[in-house]
Amino acid sequence: MDARLARLLKEIQAEALATATHTGIAAFSPRTMQALTAVPRPEFVPPDEQVSAYLDVPLPIGHGQTISQPYIVALMTDLLELEADAKVLEVGAGSGYQAAVLAQLAQTVHTVEIVPELARACRERLARLGVANVVVHAGDGSAGLAAEAPFDAILVAAAARHVPPALVAQLKPRGRLAIPLGAEGGAQELVLVRKDARGEVSARPVLPVRFVPLTGRG
């Protein structure tokens, strides 16, 4: 294993332990950590950012968007508790890194990106890397993806002011939705939404975060 990757994985697990009182997770699952190991982050950042690809920080990817901090990718992935046959929706594909991590754990990932240039590059990148179980959709994902619903899990990679009702509606019973809530430049909180077997919904705050804003009409 690359020494830089090994160091990053140790930093992620250390941060998990440090934030356990907030998140309830003292250590990420072996499946989550293996998914992070399997996905080469340098492939998902611009050439001038590759020197920083193994740092535990978010990085710009153009068009005002970022690739999330690896610890946050691990946390949001772990919160979903994905089974191998899961069908997942991601809102905000960006460069495709989070989708590629989810693809290691789920059967199918649908990811939606509102910036056409990013969607096109994401699709090409995942194809080049041989990630065959991710479908990239160009468009407004703020209202979900009704044509492919329902989903076992949904991950939103941008901050919304409230939980979009359409996303809750597209979540299967016993499903999980991880979403950052809050205004741009203000306080934001990562929230885990659960739908029980009867369709009743609950939510709990997980951790203060900072994301770019969710755009679209949903």
Classify residue 7 as exposed, middle or buried by CB count within 10 Å of its CB (0-12, 13-18, 19+): middle
CB contact burial 195-217 (16+ within 10 A = b; e otherwise)? beeeeeeeeeebbebbbbebebe
Q: SS3 for 115? A: coil
Active-site annotation holder among 68, 95, 142, 202:
68
Take residue 9 and report the two structure tokens written for it.
């994985």
* Catalytic residue status for 68: yes
Distances (CA, A) of 45 to 36, 48, 57, 65: 15, 8, 12, 11
CB contact burial 78-105 (16+ within 10 A = b; e otherwise)? bbbebeeebbbbbbbbbbbbbbbbbbbb
**Length of the chain measured in residues:** 218
Nearest to 28 by CA among 89, 71, 86: 71
Q: Kindly list the catalytic residues.
A: 68
